[in-house]
Amino acid sequence: MERPAWAPPGIDISVPSVSRMYDFYLGGSHNFEVDREAARKAMEFMPGLPKIMQANRAFMRRAVRYAVDNDVTQFLDIGSGIPTFGNVHEVAQAASDTARVVYVDHDPVAVAHSRAVLAGDDRSAVLAADLRKPREILGSHEVRELLDLERPVALLLVAVLHFLEDADEPAAVVAELLDALAPGSLLVLTHASYEGVPLPQERAGGTVDVYRDIRNPLVMRSREEIARFFDGTELVEPGLVSMPHWRPDGPEEEEDPYAFSGFAGVGRTA
């Protein structure tokens, strides 16, 4: 198997990675054949997966602009993945001269590529860490240097919590992160669900099986279960909705049916 020049040394390029699969869905080039193979297998069951990922990114960009419009210019993006066009720092810095962003991911390709993209940008940083260990993230040099936790922060958990199983206690992880942030901080979140998917659940379940087979279980949760992540926050209008329904830029009827899969929301801490 040919190892591309951009692949960090020491990573196993025979094992698929969810962040590189995501990169493939979005049309990126930082993925290996093993990632493409797993992604294509997942798309056999849900051909609209790229549309879901695009809807995630579009929501993320709208939420970042919303944050800046409401004087929140610090961003902690956990599970940030491989940078593609229109990433958080680009959207935030275009909207505010004072925007600061810390990206967090545990995929070495995502971290290495993010560092390359951010070289020379002193208002952004990237941290190699795992969402399951919030204390390591909050206590990191990158977060302490770049973010002032005494002032509101937008915590981005976009398309990442569904990779935490219930045994990982994802609600406790979210609560611990939010507890460390100043009042008026924002929780920006999307999550996969069978609700809204334009397919019978049995068929969509084939995609879930692909992720389980690559040892990255994809946990589909109900709207009610996803809403619990916002405990302790006040949901910003229009609440927890399909991604295209959250403060859309254009007509929702032009969206692909797959874009309405899963849920998105923004909550503000008191």
Residue 185 confidence (pLDDT): 98
CA-to-CA distance for 221 and 205, rounded, in angstroms? 12
Q: Are strands 74-78 and 100-105 parallel, antiparallel or unpaired?
A: parallel
Widest Cα–Cα separation across the chain: 52
pTM, two decimal places: 0.96
Q: Report the DSSP beta bridge partners of residue 74.
A: 100
- The residues with which 242 forms a beta bridge, in sequence order, are none
User: What is the rounded distance in angstroms from the CA atom of residue 169 to the CA atom of residue 239?
Assistant: 23
Q: What is the pLDDT of residue 8?
A: 81
Measured between alpha carbons, how far apart are the two ends of the chain, in Å? Answer: 52
Mean pLDDT for 204-232 is: 97
b/e map 203-238, b = 16+ CB within 10 Å: ebeebbebbeebebebbbbebebbbebbeebeebee
Q: In the predicted model, what is the mean pLDDT of residues 172-195?
A: 98
Q: What's the rounded mean pLDDT across residues 135-148? A: 98
Report pLDDT for 256.
97
Which residue, among 87, 52, 106, 78, has the nearest Cα to 264 in the 3D structure?
A: 52
Q: Given pLDDT bands bounded at 50, 70 and 90, which one contains residue 2?
A: low
- The C-alpha atoms of residue 123 and residue 9 are separated, in whole angstroms, by 27
Give the whole-angstrom CA distance, residue 175 versus residue 182: 13
Chain-wide mean pLDDT for the chain?
96
User: Above 90 in pLDDT, residue 9?
Assistant: no
What's the rounded mean pLDDT across residues 76-85?
Answer: 93
Name, in order, each residue with C-beta under 8 angstroms of 191's C-beta and a sequence gap of 6 or more: 159, 161, 162, 221, 226, 229, 262, 263, 264
Q: Is the model's pLDDT at 1 over the cut of 70?
A: no
CB 109 within 8 A of CB 35: no
Domains recognised in the chain with CATH numbers: 55-198+223-269 (3.40.50.150)
Backbone angles phi, psi at 157, to 5 degrees: -125, 75
* Number of other CB atoms surrounding residue 98 within 10 Å: 11
Band (pLDDT 50/70/90 cuts) for residue 191 is very high
List % helix, strand, coil for the chain (3-state, nearest 5): 45, 15, 40
